[in-house]
Amino acid sequence: MSFRAEAVDQSKYAPAVEGILPAIHRRWSPRAFQDRPVSPADLAQLFEAARWAPSSYNEQPWRFLVGLRGTSTHQKITSTLIPFNQSWAPKAPVLMLGVAKTRFSHDNSANDYALYDLGAATALLVVQAAALGLATHQMGAFDHAAARKALEIPEDYLIGSVTALGYQGEPALLPNERMIAQEVAPRTRKPLSEFVLSAWGQPARLVE
Footprint (CB under 8 A) of a second copy, residues 34-63? 40-41, 43-45, 47-49, 51-54, 56, 58, 60, 62-63
Nearer to a second copy, 82 or 116 (CB): 116
Q: What are phi and psi of 85, to 5 degrees?
A: -70, -30
The single-letter code of the amino acid at 42 is D
- Which residues ranging from 94 to 153 are in contact with a second copy (CB under 8 A)? 112-113, 115-124, 126-128, 131-132, 138, 140, 151-153
Least Å from the CB of residue 16 to a second copy: 10
Nearer to a second copy, 161 or 172 (CB): 161
What distance in Å separates the CA atoms of residue 196 and residue 206, rounded to the nearest whole number? 9
Among 12, 161, 167, 168, binds a second copy (CB under 8 A): 161
What distance in Å separates the CA atoms of residue 104 and residue 102, rounded to the nearest whole number? 7
Residue 168 touching a second copy (CB under 8 A): no
Nearer to a second copy, 91 or 148 (CB): 148
Least Å from the CB of residue 187 to a second copy: 8
What residues contact residue 193 under an 8 Å CB cut-off, 6+ apart? 203, 207
**Buried/exposed 34-70: b ≥16 CB within 10 Å, e otherwise:** beeebeeebbebbbebbeebebeeebbbbebbbbbbe
